[in-house]
A and B are shown apart, each in its own frame.
Chain A
Amino acid sequence: MTQNSSSIDPRVNRLHLETDDHPTPKPALDQLETFEVFHQKKVGAAYTYVGPVHAANEEIAFLFAKEQYSRRAICSGMWVAKTQHVFLSGYADDATSIYDNLPTLSEVPNAAEQSYEIFHLKKRGKAHQHAGSVTARSPLHALYVAKEVLQTSPAVNVWVIASAHVLRQEQDQDMWATTPDKKYREAMAYRVQDKIEKFKAEQKA
């Protein structure tokens, strides 16, 4: 290919970008803090982990999360929590349960009781799912309580988040109402094979 002197990209032509300056390294926190995002596919389904976003605060994290994780798939609710507010258990082997190998809790802490959300990872490589909430006096204590009341099947890893640290968007479901209408984003909307068949028939004729 030949060298193109004038760019095709309007950003290059209109902004008159310098192409030879030397960028300075990005400072720490240029990309802000991290948040973990959970979505609900339909009303009543368990909230499931979808991934992280970087943002300045919970509200902006929610906006980014909505764009990142629910612009394509159907969604009826979304939770966002700061990564640093998530307490993790260790990871067990598949087909074993981390609940059988919790760190020692020598005594129940003296702190006030509060509500914690518990998320289970059933199998390595899959996504954490909301298993329920418990009332406890610390995140580790919450693991012990969850072991009693929520452990219905093995969990290879458990996340514990104080309920007060979870930003929930459950009231404004109509923000997702038009997602299924955006057919131009769906592979199903492109009937390519019909066009090819028509073309081939015309070629033969």
Chain B
Amino acid sequence: MYGGGNVFEATTFDNLAQEDPAQLAQFEARIARGEKIEPTDWMPQLYRKQLIRMIEQHAHSEIIGALPEGAWITRAPGFRRKLAQMAKVQDEVGHAQLLYSAAETLGKTREQMLTDLINGKSKYSNVFNYPAVTWADSNTISWLIDAGAIVNQLANAKGSYGPYCRALDRICAEEAFHLKYGHDAVVHLATGSPIQRSMIQAALNRWWPPIMTFFGPPDKMSTHTETLMRWKVKMATNDACRQQFLDMYVPKIWELGLTIPDPNLHKNEHGEWEYTEPDWAEFKRVINGDGPCNAERLAVRRTSEERGAWVRQALLAPKATYVKPLA
């Protein structure tokens, strides 16, 4: 699911003057020709660092993103929904595995990434710092957060780094089920009894503000951003992704007779969506640790890592050596 890799501030390393001009020219020419970069190719430090950061945050978002919906598996109404919810959560954990491997090909080990996650150094998509307080919240995540993630991921799948593209192709194929499953669950409540309708409306009211921050604050267009776009690391601006999401999903929400809790939301005469600017101060506060669920999300992850460690140690072959994945 969950993109949001380009939500967070970029790396500050920007000294292209240190790079070998001939190799840099060759690298840029390859990308301009539409060829993918593979792990053993020469690449600028900025490219490597920014991709590690993006892919790692994407992986963390998948594995933390499995938690709010995972909490609803035991309470999912009916056996079929339980199976589907489990399958979706398993997919998210699988996506994290794929993405961690893609980031590893760039030289950061999985141990380093997981350490940075559980000690709070690395970020993940901020929306998962909010609780899914009802089944309808879980459905809203399944539909609309996944929808946002798909906008992000389809863009990134056209990027230049081979291993990330391969992982995203597989992820996007699996997400098609998540989107339909989530949509179906929301439609079921929205077209149901008055109580069901009010339940999904309340969930939408709770989740709309976090959803509007999902793609991150408007980009400051800098040489840095332009470089990353030329290298096909960043494929679209945060605002462009947000506009695309609104274009695709606002009509689908409205056709169910649900209201979106933003009186200013409308399409202007240029065909662009206007909306109340999300509360970026809250976004910043929550992403830096002070949200309703930050502590418990990391505690769940940390406990799994700690309590599983003895099994991995017992299984580890004495002569084991780490080799980073190939592609």
Question: What is A's interface to B at a CB cutoff of 8 Å?
Answer: 1-4, 7-12, 15, 17-23, 25-34, 36, 49-54, 56-57, 60, 67-68, 71-73, 82-84, 86, 88, 90-91, 93-94, 124-128, 157, 159, 182, 184-187, 189-192, 195-196, 198-200, 203
The complex places the Cα of A26 from the Cα of B206 at a distance, in Å, of 37
- Are A31 and B302 also in contact (CB < 8 A) when A8-B71, A190-B183 are? no
B206 partner, pick from A1, A56, A82, beta carbons under 8 A: A1
Give B177 Cβ to nearest chain A Cβ, in Å: 5
Is there an interface contact between B187 and A199, defined as CB atoms closer than 8 Å? yes
Is there an interface contact between B326 and A4, defined as CB atoms closer than 8 Å? no
Give B181 Cβ to nearest chain A Cβ, in Å: 6
Is there an interface contact between A196 and B101, defined as CB atoms closer than 8 Å? no
Give 21 CB contacts A-B under 8 Å.
A1-B131, A22-B119, A23-B118, A30-B312, A31-B114, A50-B170, A52-B101, A54-B110, A56-B315, A67-B90, A68-B94, A72-B91, A86-B326, A94-B33, A124-B162, A125-B166, A184-B80, A185-B87, A190-B183, A195-B184, A196-B191
Is there an interface contact between B110 and A187, defined as CB atoms closer than 8 Å? no
Is there an interface contact between A23 and B115, defined as CB atoms closer than 8 Å? yes
**Considering the complex, which residues of chain B in the window 298-312 have a beta carbon less than 8 Å from any beta carbon of chain A?**
298-300, 302-303, 305-306, 309, 312
Give A178 Cβ to nearest chain B Cβ, in Å: 13
Is there an interface contact between A127 and B166, defined as CB atoms closer than 8 Å? yes
- With a CB–CB cut-off of 8 A, which chain B residues contact A21? 302
Binds A, one of B7-15, B34-42, B213-221: B34-42
**Considering the complex, which residues of chain B in the window 269-327 have a beta carbon less than 8 Å from any beta carbon of chain A?**
292-293, 295-296, 298-300, 302-303, 305-306, 309, 312-313, 315-317, 320-327
- Are A4 and B41 also in contact (CB < 8 A) when A51-B166, A54-B110 are? no
Which A residue's beta carbon lies closest to that of B157? A125
Is there an interface contact between B299 and A12, defined as CB atoms closer than 8 Å? yes
Is there an interface contact between B326 and A36, defined as CB atoms closer than 8 Å? yes
- With a CB–CB cut-off of 8 A, which chain B residues contact A8? 68, 71, 131-133
Which A residue's beta carbon lies closest to that of B37? A124
Which secondary structure characterizes the binding site on chain A? loop
Give A21 Cβ to nearest chain B Cβ, in Å: 8
The complex places the Cα of A86 from the Cα of B90 at a distance, in Å, of 29
The complex places the Cα of A9 from the Cα of B299 at a distance, in Å, of 11
Is there an interface contact between A88 and B40, defined as CB atoms closer than 8 Å? yes
Is there an interface contact between B71 and A11, defined as CB atoms closer than 8 Å? yes
Which A residue's beta carbon lies closest to that of B314? A56
Q: Which of A22, A82, A125, A184 has the most CB of B within 10 A?
A: A125
List the 7 closest A-B pairs by CB distance, nearest first: A125-B36, A56-B315, A52-B325, A19-B295, A26-B111, A124-B36, A187-B180
- With a CB–CB cut-off of 8 A, which chain A residues contact B181? 184, 187, 190
B87 partner, pick from A9, A20, A52, A182, beta carbons under 8 A: A182
Query: Would you call B179 an interface residue if the criterion is a C-beta within 8 Å of the partner chain's C-beta atoms?
Result: yes
- Binary contact readout B16-57 vs A (1 if CB under 8 angstroms, 0 otherwise): 000000000000001001011110110000000000000000
- With a CB–CB cut-off of 8 A, which chain A residues contact B180? 187, 189-190, 192
The complex places the Cα of A2 from the Cα of B282 at a distance, in Å, of 12
- With a CB–CB cut-off of 8 A, which chain A residues contact B173? 72-73
Query: Would you call B97 an interface residue if the criterion is a C-beta within 8 Å of the partner chain's C-beta atoms?
Result: yes
Is there an interface contact between B292 and A91, defined as CB atoms closer than 8 Å? no
A51 partner, pick from B118, B170, B292, B306, beta carbons under 8 A: B170
The complex places the Cα of A21 from the Cα of B296 at a distance, in Å, of 11
Query: Would you call B267 an interface residue if the criterion is a C-beta within 8 Å of the partner chain's C-beta atoms?
Result: no
- With a CB–CB cut-off of 8 A, which chain A residues contact B177? 72, 185-187
Is there an interface contact between B322 and A200, defined as CB atoms closer than 8 Å? no
Query: Would you call B199 an interface residue if the criterion is a C-beta within 8 Å of the partner chain's C-beta atoms?
Result: no
Is there an interface contact between A9 and B300, defined as CB atoms closer than 8 Å? yes
Which B residue's beta carbon lies closest to that of A182? B87
Give A102 Cβ to nearest chain B Cβ, in Å: 15
Give A25 Cβ to nearest chain B Cβ, in Å: 5
Which B residue's beta carbon lies closest to that of A18? B299
- With a CB–CB cut-off of 8 A, which chain A residues contact B132? 8
The complex places the Cα of A17 from the Cα of B131 at a distance, in Å, of 17
Give B236 Cβ to nearest chain A Cβ, in Å: 19
Is there an interface contact between A199 and B111, defined as CB atoms closer than 8 Å? no
Is there an interface contact between B302 and A23, defined as CB atoms closer than 8 Å? yes
A9 partner, pick from B71, B256, B322, beta carbons under 8 A: B71
- With a CB–CB cut-off of 8 A, which chain B residues contact A34? 101, 104, 322-325
